[in-house]
Structure 1
Amino acid sequence: MQKILDAILSGAWEEVGRLPVPESYRGVTLHAGETAMFEGMESRDKDPRRSLHLDEVATPEPAAGEVLVAVMASGINHNTVWSSIFEPMPTFGFLARYGRTSPQASRHDLPYHVLGSDLAGVVLRCGAGVAGWRPGDEVVAHCLSVELDHPDGHADTMLDPEQRIWGFETNFGGLAELALVKANQLMPRPRHLSWEESAASGLVHSTAYRQLVSPAGARMKQGDTVLIWGASGGLGSYATQLALNGGAIPVCVVSSPRKAEICRRMGAELVIDRSAEGYRFWRDEHTQDPKEWRRFGARIRELTGGDDPDIVFEHPGRETFGASVYVARRGGTIVTCASTSGYEHTFDNRYLWMHLKRIVGSHFANYREAWEANRLVARGRIHPTLSEVVPLKDTAQAVHDVHHNRHQGKVGVLCLAPAEGLGVHDPETRARHESAINRFRKS
Structure 2
Amino acid sequence: MTTLTEAVTTGSSGEELLRHPVPEQYRAAFVRAEDTELFTGVEDKDVRKSLHVGDVPMPELAPDEVLVGVMASAINYNTVWSAMFEPLPTFGFLKHLASQGGWHARHDQPYHVLGSDASGVVVRVGSAVQHWKPGDHVVIATAHVNDQEPASHADSMLGEDQRAWGFETNFGGLADYTVVRASQLLPKAAHLSWEEAAVNPLCAATAYRMLVSDRGARMKQGDVVLIWGASGGLGSYAVQFVRNGGGTSIGVVSSPEKAEILAGLGCDVVIDRTEIEQGDPGSLQRPEGWKRLGKAIRKAVGEDPHIVFEHVGKATFAASVFLARRGGTVVTCGSSTGYQHQFDNRYLWMKLKRIIGSHGANLQEQWETNRLIQQGRVVPALSAVYRLDEVAEAARSIQTNRHIGKVGVLCLAPEPGLGITDPATRARIGEDRLHAFRAADGGR
Give the TM-score, by structure 1 length: 0.97
Counterparts of 1:387 and 1:12 in 2: how far apart (Å)? 29
Please tell me whether residue 166 in structure 1 is matched to residue 165 in structure 2.
yes
Task: Structure 2: give runs of 5+ residues left out of the alignment.
Answer: none
* CA positional deviation for 1:275: 1.2
Task: Provide the residue aligned with 1:187 in structure 2.
Answer: 186
Counterparts of 1:129 and 1:330 in 2: how far apart (Å)? 50
Out of 390, 400, 411, the residue aligned to residue 396 of structure 2 is: 400
* CA positional deviation for 1:281: 7.1
Please tell me whether residue 298 in structure 1 is matched to residue 299 in structure 2.
no
Q: Check whether the contact 1:148–1:162 (CA below 8 A) recurs between aligned residues.
A: no
Q: Which amino acid aligns with 2:288?
A: K
SS at match of 1:368: helix
Task: Provide the residue aligned with 2:24 in structure 1.
Answer: 23
Task: Provide the residue aligned with 1:384 in structure 2.
Answer: 380
Q: Could you give the per-residue CA deviations for residues 301-357 of structure 1, whole angstroms, max 9, x where no partner exists? A: 0111x2100000000000000000001011000000110010011111111101000
SS at match of 1:422: coil
SS at match of 1:359: strand
Q: Check whether the contact 1:231–1:240 (CA below 8 A) recurs between aligned residues.
A: yes
Please tell me whether residue 318 in structure 1 is matched to residue 314 in structure 2.
yes
Q: Which amino acid aligns with 1:335?
A: V
Task: Provide the residue aligned with 2:90 in structure 1.
Answer: 91
Task: Provide the residue aligned with 1:7 in structure 2.
Answer: 7
The CA RMSD over aligned residues, in Å, is 1.2
SS at match of 1:436: helix
Please tell me whether residue 54 in structure 1 is matched to residue 50 in structure 2.
no
Task: Provide the residue aligned with 1:113 in structure 2.
Answer: 112
The within-5 A match list for 1:168-317 is: 168-278=167-277, 280=280, 282=282, 288-304=285-301, 306-317=302-313
Counterparts of 2:127 and 2:326 in 1: how far apart (Å)? 53
Q: 1:382 to 1:288 in 2, by over 3 A?
A: closer
Counterparts of 2:422 and 2:75 in 1: how far apart (Å)? 26
Q: Which amino acid aligns with 2:392?
A: A
Q: Could you give the per-residue CA deviations for residues 80-118 of structure 1, whole angstroms, max 9, x where no partner exists? A: 000000110000000000001121101000000000001
Task: Provide the residue aligned with 1:63 in structure 2.
Answer: 62
Q: Check whether the contact 2:113–2:175 (CA below 8 A) recurs between aligned residues.
A: yes
* CA positional deviation for 1:64: 1.3
SS at match of 1:318: coil
Q: Check whether the contact 1:17–1:136 (CA below 8 A) recurs between aligned residues.
A: no
Q: Which amino acid aligns with 2:358?
A: S
Counterparts of 2:213 and 2:433 in 1: how far apart (Å)? 25
- Which region of structure 1 is more displaced relative to structure 2, 344-353 or 287-296? 287-296
* CA positional deviation for 1:379: 0.8
SS at match of 2:30: strand
* CA positional deviation for 1:288: 4.2
Task: Provide the residue aligned with 2:369 in structure 1.
Answer: 373
* CA positional deviation for 1:147: 1.4
Q: Check whether the contact 1:281–1:320 (CA below 8 A) recurs between aligned residues.
A: no
Q: Could you give the per-residue CA deviations for residues 40-64 of structure 1, whole angstroms, max 9, x where no partner exists? A: 223xx10101000002001112111
Counterparts of 1:276 and 1:288 in 2: how far apart (Å)? 15
SS at match of 2:290: helix
Q: Which runs of 4+ in 1 moved over 4 A?
A: none
Q: Check whether the contact 2:189–2:197 (CA below 8 A) recurs between aligned residues.
A: yes
Counterparts of 2:272 and 2:289 in 1: how far apart (Å)? 14
Counterparts of 1:233 and 1:190 in 2: how far apart (Å)? 22
Task: Structure 1: give runs of 5+ residues left out of the alignment.
Answer: none
Counterparts of 1:31 and 1:152 in 2: how far apart (Å)? 34
Q: Check whether the contact 1:281–1:323 (CA below 8 A) recurs between aligned residues.
A: no
* CA positional deviation for 1:435: 1.5
SS at match of 2:319: helix
Task: Provide the residue aligned with 2:80 in structure 1.
Answer: 81
Q: Check whether the contact 2:229–2:235 (CA below 8 A) recurs between aligned residues.
A: yes
* Number of matched pairs: 437
Q: Check whether the contact 1:229–1:254 (CA below 8 A) recurs between aligned residues.
A: yes
SS at match of 1:122: strand
Q: Check whether the contact 1:281–1:293 (CA below 8 A) recurs between aligned residues.
A: no
* CA positional deviation for 1:203: 0.4
* CA positional deviation for 1:229: 0.3
Identity percentage over the alignment? 56
Counterparts of 2:417 and 2:222 in 1: how far apart (Å)? 37
Q: Which amino acid aligns with 1:227?
A: L
SS at match of 2:340: coil
Please tell me whether residue 33 in structure 1 is matched to residue 34 in structure 2.
yes
Please tell me whether residue 418 in structure 1 is matched to residue 414 in structure 2.
yes
Q: Which amino acid aligns with 1:181?
A: V
Q: Could you give the per-residue CA deviations for residues 189-239 of structure 1, whole angstroms, max 9, x where no partner exists? A: 000000000101010001000011001100011110000000010000000
Q: Check whether the contact 2:276–2:289 (CA below 8 A) recurs between aligned residues.
A: no
